[in-house]
Amino acid sequence: MPNYGGNLRNIHGIAEQVRVNIADVRDQYSMNYLVQGHDYLFNLAGQTSHLDSMHDPYTDLEINCRAQLSILEACRNHNNSIKVVYASTRQIYGKPDYLPVDERHLLHPTDVNGINKMAGEWYHIVYNNVYGVRATALRLTNTYGPRMRVKDARQTFLGIWLKRVLDDEPILVFGDGLQMRDFTYIDDCVDALLLAAVSPEADGQVFNLGSHETINLRNLAELLIAIHGSGSYEIVPFPPERKVIDIGDYYGDYRLIQGRLGWQPTISLRTGLQRTLDFYHEHRTFYW
């Protein structure tokens, strides 16, 4: 899918150790087959672009709602002892009522993608509770790191920022640049996914990820430029279609997963950005 995050380069070096099956999550027959014989399903496929979900709400619905039902029905009917870990998102909270946002915060998404991801998350919890298809949802926040899509802003704005810094183009910061955000380095995210998979106490639960570091976008741009050693950024007005679905400040409270599963972020933002810039400096041809 040219508009999505997959990139076969990402398994370079381990291609012989993994089995790849390219299929669309909307294809019920593939799902029915593929869930069989496995202990864990990391359910990470999704349409993640907020803007796309407004331009084409039906495709977002098909992927983030209908396909999630198909996957869960496949598990229920063809492998009901599988454990599913679902990649949910902090987007479902919408514009926060308070900070940091914990799991008791109301869900009031600001765009169609947020609504459909909310539904997708709850299908997992209901299938856990009603059918015993064990599932855990992690509400991810700005996951970044080597191998992410950077050619555009479809997987967090940070992707295109990384590319522009490395291309010696100015980073574009929307609004006043004071919006607060938190970030999760990919290795920390993978740790959380694995912990959720193997922890029985996570069954039927929803957990925020988050960071002890929060930063506004202007400072993030400055940090990225400082780590890279050069670069510039421009404060530009919000494009209207983004402004109307923007969530303002966000950072999450991750004490629930910390207390229950012992997860906490281990890679500082500076280290994570350094590693990410280094990776794309070396491998840019496969991701540009």
- For residues 146 and 149, what is the distance between their CA atoms, to the nearest angstrom? 9
Among 94, 141, 157, residue whose Cα is nearest residue 252: 141
Identify which of residues 50 and 164 has a Cβ nearer to a copy of itself in the complex: 50
- For residues 64 and 115, what is the distance between their CA atoms, to the nearest angstrom? 9
Task: Provide the minimum distance between the beta carbon of 131 and a copy of itself in the complex, in angstroms, as a whole number.
Answer: 9
Task: Provide the minimum distance between the beta carbon of 243 and a copy of itself in the complex, in angstroms, as a whole number.
Answer: 10
Identify which of residues 97 and 168 has a Cβ nearer to a copy of itself in the complex: 97
**Contact residues: a copy of itself, CB under 8 A:** 54, 57-58, 61, 65-66, 69, 73, 104, 106-112, 115-116, 118-119, 122-123, 125-126, 129-130, 244-245
Residue 254 tokens, joined: 């991750």
Task: Provide the minimum distance between the beta carbon of 144 and a copy of itself in the complex, in angstroms, as a whole number.
Answer: 27
Identify which of residues 101 and 189 has a Cβ nearer to a copy of itself in the complex: 101
Identify which of residues 73 and 191 has a Cβ nearer to a copy of itself in the complex: 73
- Answer whether the bond into residue 239 is a cis peptide, omega within 30°: no
Task: Provide the minimum distance between the beta carbon of 104 and a copy of itself in the complex, in angstroms, as a whole number.
Answer: 7
Residue 146 tokens, joined: 């080597």
Among 149, 274, 258, residue whose Cα is nearest residue 209: 258
Give me the numbers of helices (H) and strands (E) for the chain, helices first please.
11, 10
Query: Taking a C-beta distance cutoff of 8 angstroms, is the pair 87, 138 a contact?
Result: yes
Task: Provide the minimum distance between the beta carbon of 88 and a copy of itself in the complex, in angstroms, as a whole number.
Answer: 13
Q: What H or E segment, with its residue span, contains residue 234? A: strand 233-236
Identify which of residues 44 and 107 has a Cβ nearer to a copy of itself in the complex: 107
Identify which of residues 193 and 245 has a Cβ nearer to a copy of itself in the complex: 245
Largest CA distance in the chain: 55
Identify which of residues 137 and 220 has a Cβ nearer to a copy of itself in the complex: 137
Task: Provide the minimum distance between the beta carbon of 65 and a copy of itself in the complex, in angstroms, as a whole number.
Answer: 6
Query: Taking a C-beta distance cutoff of 8 angstroms, is the pair 90, 252 a contact?
Result: yes
Task: Provide the minimum distance between the beta carbon of 175 and a copy of itself in the complex, in angstroms, as a whole number.
Answer: 17
Residue type, 253: D
